Amino acid sequence: MTNRPMTAQPTKAIRRWWGPAIAALTATAGLTALSAAPPGHAAVTQARPPQLGVTAAQRDAGEPIMAVISIKSQQVTIYDAAGWILRAPVSTGTTGRETPAGIFSVVEKDKDHHSNLYDDASMPNMQRITWSGIAMHGGPLPGHPASHGCVRLPYDFAENLFDKTPMGMRVIISPDDAEPVAFSDPVLFAPNADAIAAAPGRAEKLAVEAAEAAKAADEAKKVGVEAQRSTVALTASLRKAEWLNTRTDAELAYADKVLAGARANQAKAEDFKQKASAKAQELGTQLDAAKADAKSKADVAGPPPGAAAAREAATLTASLRKVEMLKTRAHAELADAEKMLAVANANLTRAEDQKQKAAAKASELKTQLDTAKADIKSKLDVAAAAQSAAKAAEAKRSETAKAARDAKLALEPVSLFISRKTQRIYVRHGIEPGYDLPVRIRNPDKPLGTHIFTAVARTDAGLRWTAVTIDNGDDAKAALDRIAIPQEVLDRVAPTAMPRSSIVISDEPLNRETNYRTEFVVVLNNQPQGGLAMRRPANDLGRGGWGNSGFLSGFFGGFGNDSRYAARRVGRDYYQNNYYQNNYYQRQW
């Protein structure tokens, strides 16, 4: 659905488009009376009877600004900037299925619509005013309320009206007769000619800046992603280098331990060799002395030896043999000691070599680790700078996009809704949700009524306004005087206000039908709403709501009894996640 600007056009520039239709209707007006039709939306298969009561103003018609429907008189009146341009009879909802009284707008149009609730009934030239199923469309007019909640229009009237009404046109349904009257008040928007003249150029400029900021943000994001990606490989390399460095340090510590053990073993072997050598040398000396002693005694005794000499010689021989055995053993121990020393020396040499290699490897890996740390620090600094730049670019994108959006919306009519129920003021441009603020209302316990103030045309002094009242309370001026519109709101919207801008004041809260695809929807709760109540709310998502826990709380806050229902556009994900799951777009009649 497209919400195109609803700018009033000069009447001289618009052809008189109702002439042929009215001529055709009035030519047959006296021939046949309007026949009664059964209640409901059943399609009429017989020839359409001529329909009485359609009248047109005898002047060139401008683009319609609003439609005012009187439930009491069963009549619709279409208004342009200069006043009424067309009137026709209607048939609203029957008892139990009453057409709700309130403030609506055209949210969808379908030339050949069929009901999905009432046996595929034909609803030609349908103009929807609620997503739950209330609409204006061609249908039989029995002369009294007969529909299931919709507003039936004369067939030819509906057909001719269909192409003339703009999307977003306000539709006011009043329980009694109501009409717009000229209205002026200092509180109403006073646009600034310079601001209006500058608005299109400003919107274009900001749109370019927003596009450039978006492009810069995308590029900065890519740079940031690439920088981050480059640090991932470096981080892995750094971790590997740290692991290798840790392992090499362990190897070096082990080599030191092995070397220390080898040195200890070498020292033990050296000591053992020295002791073995000293012992062998001592035993050698003892053996030599024993031999010399034995020889000396043998020379003294002479031959033949006596028995005593023989015994002494035997003792010396045994002693000599013992010394020789000890010497032989000592030399064997010395040989073992030398072998042990050789092994210890070899182990020491090998341990020293292993330590040198481990130390060299540790030194090399430490250098690599230091280099890797320096490299990754540099890359991390670059990545951090890139991410910071991307964040700044994204913030600028958001800022410029908002500024561009606000500048674009400044080219659209603005709507304010002031609710005594919530004591807040809500601002939006067309169907685009805006913001809301608290509003001060004098004597807040006293009813205000429901009033619609509409800027219908430009004047030399600013804007020409009308007021429509559809619910009693204060009169329009008294109600407006009781409200202190925040200066912040006036400063933002008044300078570029244009025709079709409006201010709505009501005792009611926003109705649950208000969502991101509608203008403000306000329903009079003191009037029957059977035709609306029987329909499933189009935006009952079964999640959150208008309250603080719902995803609309940032825009609308809480709306009293209607706080269960809400919907707001939150981007592409909203459509993807909710379109089918929640039947949000199911349209019922």
- Give residues with Cβ within 8 angstroms of 473, minimum separation 6: 446, 447, 448, 449, 450, 479, 507
Measured distance CA(283)–CA(463) in Å, rounded: 135
Q: Answer yes or no: do 467 and 530 share one domain.
A: yes
What SS3 state is found at 99? Answer: coil
The type of residue at 314 is A
Please give the structure tokens belonging to residue 87: 């009137």
Better pLDDT: 493 or 314: 493
Query: What are the tens digits of pLDDT across the range 540-549?
Result: 433 333 333 3
- For the segment 230-259, the average pLDDT, to the nearest whole number, is 84
Better pLDDT: 36 or 519: 519
Better pLDDT: 40 or 184: 184
Phi, psi of 41 (to 5 degrees): -110, 20
Q: What is the pLDDT of residue 585?
A: 29
Strands (E) located in 397-498? 414-419, 424-429, 432-438, 440-441, 450-459, 462-471, 483-484
Better pLDDT: 23 or 338: 338
Better pLDDT: 281 or 146: 146
Average pLDDT over the chain reads 80
Measured distance CA(18)–CA(356) in Å, rounded: 106
127 belongs to a structural domain: yes
> What single-letter DSSP state applies at residue 561?
G
458 belongs to a structural domain: yes
Q: What is the pLDDT of residue 229?
A: 82
444 belongs to a structural domain: yes
pLDDT higher than threshold 90 for residue 448: yes
277 belongs to a structural domain: yes
Domain boundary pick from 372, 407, 442: 407
Q: What is the pLDDT of residue 88?
A: 97
Better pLDDT: 379 or 422: 422
Domain boundary pick from 407, 435, 469: 407
Measured distance CA(484)–CA(186) in Å, rounded: 12
Residues 583 and 536: beta-carbon distance below 8 Å: no
Q: What is the pLDDT of residue 99?
A: 96
Strands (E) located in 460-582? 462-471, 483-484, 502-506, 522-523
Measured distance CA(457)–CA(183) in Å, rounded: 12
Q: Residue 331 belongs to a domain with what CATH number? A: 1.10.287.620
Confidence of residue 240 (pLDDT cuts 50, 70, 90): confident
- For the segment 435-449, the average pLDDT, to the nearest whole number, is 96
Give a three-class secondary structure readout of 327-382: HHHHHHHHHHHHHHHHHHHHHHHHHHHHHHHHHHHHHHHHHHHHHHHHHHHHHHHH
Q: Answer yes or no: do 145 and 249 share one domain.
A: no
Bridge partners, residue 59, by sequence: none
**Domain range for 50:** 11-179
Please give the structure tokens belonging to residue 168: 């977003």
- Looking up tokens 């009169």 gives 475
Confidence of residue 414 (pLDDT cuts 50, 70, 90): very high
Q: Answer yes or no: do 167 and 213 share one domain.
A: no
Please give the structure tokens belonging to residue 102: 């309130």
How much of the chain, in percent, has pLDDT values that exceed 70? Answer: 80
pLDDT higher than threshold 50 for residue 435: yes
Q: What is the pLDDT of residue 326?
A: 85
Buried b / exposed e across 76-98, counting CB within 10 Å, b at 16+? bbbbbbbebbbbbbbbbbbeebb
Q: Which residue in 231, 211, 254, 266 sits closest to 396, CA to CA? A: 211
pLDDT higher than threshold 60 for residue 249: yes
Q: What is the pLDDT of residue 148?
A: 92
587 belongs to a structural domain: no
Please give the structure tokens belonging to residue 164: 């003339």
Q: What is the pLDDT of residue 400?
A: 92
pLDDT higher than threshold 60 for residue 552: no
Measured distance CA(556)–CA(209) in Å, rounded: 30
- For the segment 550-574, the average pLDDT, to the nearest whole number, is 33
Q: Answer yes or no: do 472 and 426 share one domain.
A: yes
Q: What is the pLDDT of residue 83?
A: 96
Q: Answer yes or no: do 43 and 150 share one domain.
A: yes
Q: What is the pLDDT of residue 554?
A: 36
Q: Which residue in 217, 224, 207 sits closest to 396, CA to CA? A: 217
Confidence of residue 17 (pLDDT cuts 50, 70, 90): very low
Please give the structure tokens belonging to residue 428: 């939006």
Report the helix count and the strand count for the chain, using DSSP H and E: 9, 20
Q: Answer yes or no: do 425 and 504 share one domain.
A: yes
Measured distance CA(462)–CA(253) in Å, rounded: 90
**229 exposure class (CB count in 10 Å sphere: 0-12, 13-18, 19+):** exposed
Better pLDDT: 282 or 584: 282
- For the segment 196-219, the average pLDDT, to the nearest whole number, is 91
Q: Please state which of the ranges 156-160, 192-196, 316-320 shows the lowest mean pLDDT.
A: 316-320
203 belongs to a structural domain: no
Confidence of residue 304 (pLDDT cuts 50, 70, 90): low
Bridge partners, residue 152, by sequence: 91, 137
Q: Which residue in 135, 146, 140, 141 sits closest to 67, CA to CA? A: 135
Residues 141 and 128: beta-carbon distance below 8 Å: no
Q: What is the pLDDT of residue 536?
A: 61
- Give the number of other CB atoms < 10 A from CB of residue 435: 14
Q: Please state which of the ranges 114-118, 434-438, 576-580 shows the lowest mean pLDDT.
A: 576-580
Q: Please state which of the ranges 176-180, 506-510, 580-584 shows the lowest mean pLDDT.
A: 580-584
pLDDT higher than threshold 80 for residue 530: yes
- For the segment 136-153, the average pLDDT, to the nearest whole number, is 95
Residue 418, Ramachandran bin (φ over 0: left; ψ between -120 and 50: alpha; else beta):
beta
pLDDT higher than threshold 80 for residue 41: no
Confidence of residue 20 (pLDDT cuts 50, 70, 90): very low
Better pLDDT: 248 or 74: 74
Q: What is the pLDDT of residue 50?
A: 58
Q: Answer yes or no: do 476 and 440 share one domain.
A: yes
Better pLDDT: 179 or 43: 179
Measured distance CA(220)–CA(139) in Å, rounded: 59
Q: Answer yes or no: do 396 and 281 share one domain.
A: yes
Q: Answer yes or no: do 432 and 393 share one domain.
A: no
34 belongs to a structural domain: yes
Q: How are the residues of the chain apportioned to helix, strand and coil, as percentages rounded to the nearest 5?
A: 45, 20, 35
pLDDT higher than threshold 60 for residue 38: no
pLDDT higher than threshold 50 for residue 305: yes
Please give the structure tokens belonging to residue 66: 């609003």
What SS3 state is found at 586? Answer: coil
Please give the structure tokens belonging to residue 346: 């070899």
Q: What is the pLDDT of residue 53?
A: 85
Q: Answer yes or no: do 390 and 425 share one domain.
A: no
Measured distance CA(318)–CA(448) in Å, rounded: 143
Q: What is the pLDDT of residue 352?
A: 86
How many domains is the chain partitioned into structurally? 3
pLDDT higher than threshold 80 for residue 471: yes
- For the segment 50-78, the average pLDDT, to the nearest whole number, is 92
Q: Answer yes or no: do 334 and 374 share one domain.
A: yes
- Give residues with Cβ within 8 angstroms of 573, minimum separation 6: none
Q: Please state which of the ranges 45-59, 91-105, 159-173, 207-221 shows the lowest mean pLDDT.
A: 45-59
Please give the structure tokens belonging to residue 520: 């403000």
Query: What are the tens digits of pLDDT across the range 472-484?
Result: 889 999 999 999 9
How much of the chain, in percent, has pLDDT values that exceed 90? Answer: 43
Domain boundary pick from 407, 437, 464: 407
Q: Are strands 414-419 and 122-128 parallel, antiparallel or unpaired?
A: unpaired
- Looking up tokens 């010394």 gives 323
Q: Residue 174 belongs to a domain with what CATH number? A: 2.40.440.10
Measured distance CA(358)–CA(361) in Å, rounded: 5
Confidence of residue 371 (pLDDT cuts 50, 70, 90): confident
Q: What is the pLDDT of residue 540?
A: 42
Torsion sign across C-alpha atoms 232, 236, 238, 239: positive
515 belongs to a structural domain: yes
Buried b / exposed e across 285-311, counting CB within 10 Å, b at 16+? ebbeebeeebeeeeeeeeeeeeeebee
Q: Answer yes or no: do 420 and 565 share one domain.
A: yes
